[in-house]
Structure 1
Amino acid sequence: MSEGGPVLRVAVLGCGSVGSQVVRLLQEQAEDLAARVGAPVELAGVAVRRIDAPREVEVPPGLLTTDAAGLVARDDVDLVVEVIGGIEPARSLILSALEHGASVVTANKALLAEDGPTLFEAAEKAGRDLYYEAAVAGAIPILRPLRESLAGDRVTRVLGIVNGTTNFILDKMDSTGAGFTESLEEAQELGYAEADPTADVEGFDAAAKAAILASLAFHTRVTASDVYREGIADVTAADVASAADIGSVVKLLAIAELNDDAVSVRVHPAMIPRSHPLASVREAYNAVFVESQAAGQLMFYGPGAGGAPTASAVLGDLVTVARNHLAGSRGVGESAYAQRAVLPMGETRTRYHVAIDVDDRAGVLATVAMAFSEHGVSIQTVRQEGRGADAQLVVVSHEATDAQLSATVEQLRGMEIVREVTSVMRVEGRDE
């Protein structure tokens, strides 16, 4: 590369756990990045809320600014990295950056899941790139394979553990027999869970990621509001023990499936066989299992969060968009040509594990089985545990729609012989 050649200047929005690692890598790997890109990549500025806040890395003097809007609008900024999160001001800043001619790399899953089409259309209009590998599963390369490597294939199913906090909690419940509250407290003490864990334990974080995965996998616009969502706060130690009894483990799964020519997208706790690859994903790790017609089954595994792992994904995107910028080209944009309908949860089919406290008397099993049959839910296995006041039936069904199962449970709860339906949990995954 000759002296006086092009220099690409990068603005970083946010300098928290991810942003600070992006800044560190840009400085430490400057020589390698220049070789990979074909031109030097330099920091133009780092936008923060407070100049004097403590930071994990030292930012060169004069580069910190509280004027994020002014930074992205500068003529000398070629690339913008957005890692502040949330909807606003992130959306306005990204749109301004694109309008002013910069390509954008973002890790903002919530924004992409809520209003991705607006951002993609702005990038298309500006002739610039919008890349977002870091928005799902941290360092794990999953979006690029869906968008590019599998572009010639037909993806039929994406099944993922995409939230490390909930996986840590459920793993502890499985390995120690502890309850949800106790396991959550341990996750908070170790830094795996926020002081307010709502976004994680109620499934909001996973739902945003599920929307992004489904959009890419099925070439259809899917937003977070299209995703059926249940969290893990109601998962009990008894649920986890029941899963173990049938050779399964409980995981919070993000599931996107192709059903005929429609899409179903959901996030909820489910039992999966211990023989399934996702069952062995421990602690705060993430993994995504992809099924496609030609490639078959693919598994992507690794750290799904954290400053350095997520920054790794950001830098990977940054190298790509920097190369495109130098070449005067742009990469793959939004692919939503299929425009498939998104099925309501009631039409989604899966298996179910239902635990029912019943009176211990003759004919109970036949009466319960009849309730399942009346709603078209076929029983795969049933077992009775305990006697007298402790009598319980545990039913595992064949595939049925969510609406069929809900109607069955409603009928069971109205029966005189049923004291309580103590647990209803979906059963996912075949023995892979």
Structure 2
Amino acid sequence: MLDIKYIRAELDAVRKGAEDKGFSVDLDRLIALDDQRKVLLTEQEQLRHDQKNAGKEIATLQGDDKQQAIQRMAQVSDRIKTLGDELREVVDELEKIQSGIPMPAAPEVPLGPDDSGNVELRVVGTIPEFGFEPKDHVELAQDLDIVDFPRASKLAGSQTYILKGAGALLELAVLRFALDHVVDRGFIPMMVPTMVKYEPLYGTAYFPGGEEQTYEIPRDNLYLTGTSEVPVTAYHSDEILEEDDLPIKYCGWSTCYRREAGAAGRDTRGLYRIHQFNKVEQVIIDKSDVEQSVEHHEFIRNNAEEILQAMEIPYRVVDVCTGDLGMGQVRKFDIEAWMPSRGWGETHSASRFYDYQSRRMNLRYRGKDGKVHYCHTLNNTAIATPRVLIAILENHQREDGSIRIPEVLVPYMGGRTEITQTNASGAR
């Protein structure tokens, strides 16, 4: 959420920032409501001041004078109550509009209406050339019997899957390798809830706006999260941290859920776009320092790149344009892995928010000067499965349909260096 003082001071920049991101916001109404809030608040405070002074005066009065003064104060009390009701209505409407105003993108973000305006920054790794007709991950996995789509559909409907045998072991290997990689770089591991209240989703700026993609549990007023970014970032909501403790680096491991509403017929074959998946997420809670936020943004992006490099997966880094940024994102880099059957596929998103999320969740720190500031927040995927398994299976396939295991994953696979027809069951 943007500070109302900032909005008023930088109205044209905020308006342009919203337009660049494709958001429609009524800033004129917001300013009018803020003016009205100030008028109501001033009158309310003055009446309370008068009420306090009148109490002392009434104590000195007698007879009719006292009764008349009491009646006047009763009228003042009624007016204060009315002002309180009016103020709540104004503030509710103001905050509703304010919560829908996006964070302006950083000046260096490319302008564009949607993902067609994203800019490729670099390609890392060598795209494999096969001396045979490569298979896609669905055919590879089904031939090895390490993924079962039909039975998953029988149990849970479309866009579901069951990993089995060496497929299950491979997913666990990837997740554990990524977790170890970021833990070695100072991140504190967390196993977090996948069901959360409305407030963490609002605080991280997924709500309002992301309800259609979110599974709801109405009986318990809970939601299934689409990323552990939500509970991890909100972990310190409504707290005041100490500057000496920042930055705090967390990595959350959780199962994630997305409805993928509107995705019918689009990337729905196989493991690319599914309703349930697992992810290790990097989150940094930082002090209010733009230069340090930029440095840590590079840091978490590099961590993800190192993970893909270690697994020998070609990828490219994309600078996400204004029209493809989320509401709170100042800048975002997508990392897209090479998947021979479909081309580039997004596997990571590295975002920085400055204080946008922290203002919504009241996440603050006390500086060394004693003043309280809102924190900066950043996040990036460390790894998300099973999507990245597409890249592993397809890039490391052999002509006989077996899969070479990247060397860094071999220790996590019980020493297996390949997945073949003879060891695909995963049993020892």
TM-score, length of structure 1 as denominator length: 0.27
More strand by share: 1
Q: TM-score, normalised by structure 2?
A: 0.27
Higher fraction of helix: 2
| Bigger RCO of structures 1 and 2 (CA < 8 A, at least 6 apart) | 2
